[in-house]
């Protein structure tokens, strides 16, 4: 029995309707931006394997560092004990994050990094003796799949069975160009109630919403309001972190600094699962107390896993290397040139770019065609050896930085070729 069939007999895949989904493609090897299937077919990983991969697959330098760590220390309990990789990774990240970030709290993935930030924010106000109930988030946001993260994410059909279990959130509209003033008004109206603990946001780019983009200027205004009304700010950089937006962190485009930040996807270069929440001294100090009930009682079995931290350190070495920074600039320039071409296609509603992230939004056509179009575009790309996962009628590229110009050109040509399929559903 081949691997896909064996998989089909035992595995339940994420975000997959197992009744109708085609058999998965078995991948047996990766190198650079390419993935190779069992039968030798190669695919360009234009979505960085769900936005995690930074430097290409099976990178020899990361592999070496992970192997060394595995032979030295694979794991140790992270309460009462520590180890070199966790300390070094925190030290190095705090040096390149917005200056006010002073403490690092490890967890397992993006959702847990968000859970930790929300719990820190709510307990912060409790510890300060001024409990606040409300959390503000963008209406179309995505912050993860666990209950707290779901609560602060958009109320979509994906989470509908759980709506009644999710805590109340005050949603504000995403301040896309033209809608800035309205969002500022919405936030101010909520802020004036005085019961707002925190505002959580994906800075500059809302990934799952369809690579929806807004400016640093309007985010700065929202953060200024938060400061004025003592609302803690949480930058969810799980997707935007580690170079995706052109700078190492999206928050580095801003004048204001967030109180807390969440990281995961690119943190280990896409090698291992690792989550990280960082915070300012103000947050941290509110938990220092002789009264033990003020402690942050949160942790996971694999908190600060040494192998994951070693992968994080190796990935950071590569990210900060000149050649990677040049690759990021190269991708930014290539995307900008392609955007000009893509904008001229009929049935293209909008082309958006922020750094290495590029999105092409097609006219949706009749809504009944919506999901069909998504699958048609997905298969069209696969048949041409390119992995693209459209979000409805939006196709996006978020490539590993090692992707070559030739590979990028193949991805662009694939997108240009989709135009006929889109025309067919109009
Ligand atoms: C993917 C994502 C998460 C959740 O991360 P997981 O590791 O999948 O749990 C949270 N926030 C944002 C912005 C994300 O893109």
We report the CATH number of the domain holding residue 241 as 3.40.640.10
Asked if 262 and 274 touch (Cβ cutoff 8 Å), the reply is: no
Q: Are residues 246 and 347 in the same domain?
A: no
Q: Is the pLDDT of residue 44 over 90?
A: yes
Nearest-CA residue for atom 10 of ligand 1: 143
Residue 386, strand partner residues: 44
Q: Is the CB of 221 under 6 A from ligand 1?
A: no
Asked if 78 and 421 touch (Cβ cutoff 8 Å), the reply is: no
Q: Look at residues 277, 300, 319 and tell me which one is the last residue of a structural domain.
A: 319
Tally Cβ neighbours within 10 Å of residue 388: 22
Q: Is 339 exposed, middle or buried (0-12, 13-18, 19+ CB in 10 A)?
A: middle
The predicted-structure confidence for 338-367, as pLDDT tens digits, reads as follows 999 999 998 999 999 999 999 999 987 655
The predicted-structure confidence for 380-393, as pLDDT tens digits, reads as follows 999 999 999 999 89
Domain that includes residue 275, residue range: 63-319
DSSP state of 292: G
Q: Full-prediction pTM beyond 0.85?
A: yes
Query: pLDDT value at position 367?
Result: 53
Dist. CA 42–CA 117, nearest whole Å:
39
Asked if 183 and 226 touch (Cβ cutoff 8 Å), the reply is: no
Q: Look at residues 319, 337, 367 and tell me which one is the last residue of a structural domain.
A: 319
Q: Are residues 153 and 234 in the same domain?
A: yes
Query: Could you give the percent of the chain with pLDDT greater than 70?
Result: 98
Query: pLDDT value at position 373?
Result: 85
348-354: strand order across its sheet:
348-354, 357-362, 394-397
Q: Chain-wide mean pLDDT for the chain?
A: 96
Q: Is the CB of 143 under 6 A from ligand 1?
A: yes
Query: pLDDT value at position 35?
Result: 98
Q: Are residues 52 and 68 in the same domain?
A: no
Q: Are residues 182 and 48 in the same domain?
A: no
Q: Are residues 418 and 386 in the same domain?
A: yes
Token pair recorded at residue 363: 């006219």
Across the range 192-205, mean pLDDT stands at 97
Asked if 282 and 257 touch (Cβ cutoff 8 Å), the reply is: no
Q: Are residues 161 and 99 in the same domain?
A: yes
Sign for the CA dihedral angle at 66, 68, 71, 74 comes to negative
Query: Could you give the percent of the chain with pLDDT greater than 90?
Result: 93
Q: Is the pLDDT of residue 215 over 60?
A: yes
Q: Among 43, 106, 124, 142, which one carries the catalytic annotation? A: 142
Query: pLDDT value at position 415?
Result: 96
Instruction: Read off φ and ψ for residue 96, nearest 5 degrees.
Output: -110, -5
Query: pLDDT value at position 424?
Result: 80
Across the range 156-161, mean pLDDT stands at 94
Q: Are residues 393 and 278 in the same domain?
A: no
Q: Look at residues 267, 293, 319 and tell me which one is the last residue of a structural domain.
A: 319
- C-alpha separations of 217 from 141, 180, 224, 300, 347 in Å: 19, 10, 11, 37, 30
3-class DSSP state of 176: coil
Across the range 266-276, mean pLDDT stands at 98
Dist. CA 360–CA 369, nearest whole Å:
18
The predicted-structure confidence for 4-20, as pLDDT tens digits, reads as follows 999 999 999 999 999 99
Token pair recorded at residue 21: 């989904």
Helices (H), 235-357: 281-285, 306-320, 322-343
142 catalytically annotated: yes
Q: Are residues 141 and 51 in the same domain?
A: no
Q: Are residues 286 and 367 in the same domain?
A: no
Query: pLDDT value at position 395?
Result: 96
Q: Is the CB of 109 under 6 A from ligand 1?
A: yes
DSSP string, 190-246: HHTTS-EEEEEE-SSEETTTTSEE--HHHHHHHHHHHHHTT-EEEEE-TTTTTTTTS
Asked if 249 and 240 touch (Cβ cutoff 8 Å), the reply is: yes
Measured CA angle at 239 (ends 181, 283), to 5 deg = 75
Q: Is the CB of 45 under 6 A from ligand 1?
A: no
Asked if 178 and 115 touch (Cβ cutoff 8 Å), the reply is: no
Distance 356 CA to ligand 1 centre (A): 18
Q: Are residues 94 and 215 in the same domain?
A: yes
We report the CATH number of the domain holding residue 352 as 3.90.1150.10
Domain total of the chain: 2
Confidence of residue 371 (pLDDT cuts 50, 70, 90): low
Angle between helices 322-343 and 306-320 (to 10 degrees): 70
Dist. CA 361–CA 422, nearest whole Å:
11
Q: Is the pLDDT of residue 423 over 90?
A: no
Atom of ligand 1 at shortest range from CA of 110: 5
- C-alpha separations of 288 from 51, 100, 152 in Å: 36, 18, 27
Q: Are residues 354 and 276 in the same domain?
A: no
Q: Are residues 222 and 242 in the same domain?
A: yes
Across the range 316-342, mean pLDDT stands at 98
265 catalytically annotated: yes
3-class DSSP state of 275: strand
Residues across the chain:
426
Token pair recorded at residue 300: 């996971």
The CA R_g of the chain, rounded to the nearest whole Å, is 22
The predicted-structure confidence for 69-120, as pLDDT tens digits, reads as follows 999 999 999 999 999 999 999 999 999 999 999 999 999 999 999 999 999 9
Distance 109 CA to ligand 1 centre (A): 7
Q: Is the pLDDT of residue 368 over 60?
A: no
Q: Is the CB of 253 under 6 A from ligand 1?
A: no
């Amino acid at each position: 029995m081949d691997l896909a069939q064996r998989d089909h007999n035992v595995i339940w895949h994420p975000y997959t309707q197992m009744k109708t989904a085609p058999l998965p493609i078995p991948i047996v090897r990766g190198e650079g931006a390419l993935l190779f299937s069992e039968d030798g077919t190669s695919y360009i990983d234009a979505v960085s394997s769900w936005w995690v991969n930074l430097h290409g697959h099976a990178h020899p330098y990361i592999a070496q560092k992970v192997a060394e760590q595995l032979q030295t220390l694979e794991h140790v309990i992270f309460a009462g004990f520590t180890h070199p990789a966790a300390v070094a990774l925190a030290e190095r990240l705090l040096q390149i994050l917005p200056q006010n970030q002073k403490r690092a709290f490890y967890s397992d993935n993006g959702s847990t990094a968000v859970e930790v930030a929300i719990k820190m924010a709510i307990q912060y106000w409790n510890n300060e003796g001024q409990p606040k109930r409300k959390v503000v988030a963008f209406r179309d946001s995505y912050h993860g799949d666990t209950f707290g993260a779901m609560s602060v994410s958009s109320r979509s059909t994906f989470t509908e069975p759980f709506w009644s279990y999710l805590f109340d959130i005050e949603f504000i509209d995403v301040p896309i160009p033209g809608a800035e003033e309205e969002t500022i008004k919405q936030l101010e109206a909520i802020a004036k109630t005085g019961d707002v603990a925190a505002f959580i946001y994906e800075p500059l780019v809302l990934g799952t919403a369809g690579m929806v983009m807004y400016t640093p200027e309007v985010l700065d205004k929202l953060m200024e309001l938060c400061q004025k009304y003592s609302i803690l700010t949480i930058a969810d950089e799980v997707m935007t972190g580690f170079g995706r937006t052109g700078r190492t962190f999206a928050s580095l485009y801003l004048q204001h600094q967030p109180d807390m930040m969440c990281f995961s996807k690119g943190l280990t270069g896409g090698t291992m699962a690792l989550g990280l929440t960082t915070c300012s001294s103000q947050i941290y100090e509110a938990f220092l107390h002789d009264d033990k009930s003020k402690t942050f009682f949160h942790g996971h079995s694999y908190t600060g896993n040494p192998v994951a931290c070693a992968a994080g350190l190796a990935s950071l070495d590569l990210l900060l290397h000149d050649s990677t920074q040049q690759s990021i600039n190269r991708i930014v320039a290539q995307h900008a040139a392609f955007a000009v071409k893509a904008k001229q296609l009929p049935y293209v509603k909008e082309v958006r770019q922020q750094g290495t992230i590029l999105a092409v939004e097609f006219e949706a056509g009749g809504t009944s065609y919506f999901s069909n179009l998504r699958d048609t575009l997905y298969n069209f790309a696969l048949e041409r050896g390119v992995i693209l996962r459209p979000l409805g009628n939006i196709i996006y590229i978020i490539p590993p930085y090692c992707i070559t110009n030739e590979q990028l050109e193949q991805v662009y040509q694939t997108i240009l070729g989709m135009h006929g399929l889109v025309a067919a559903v109009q």
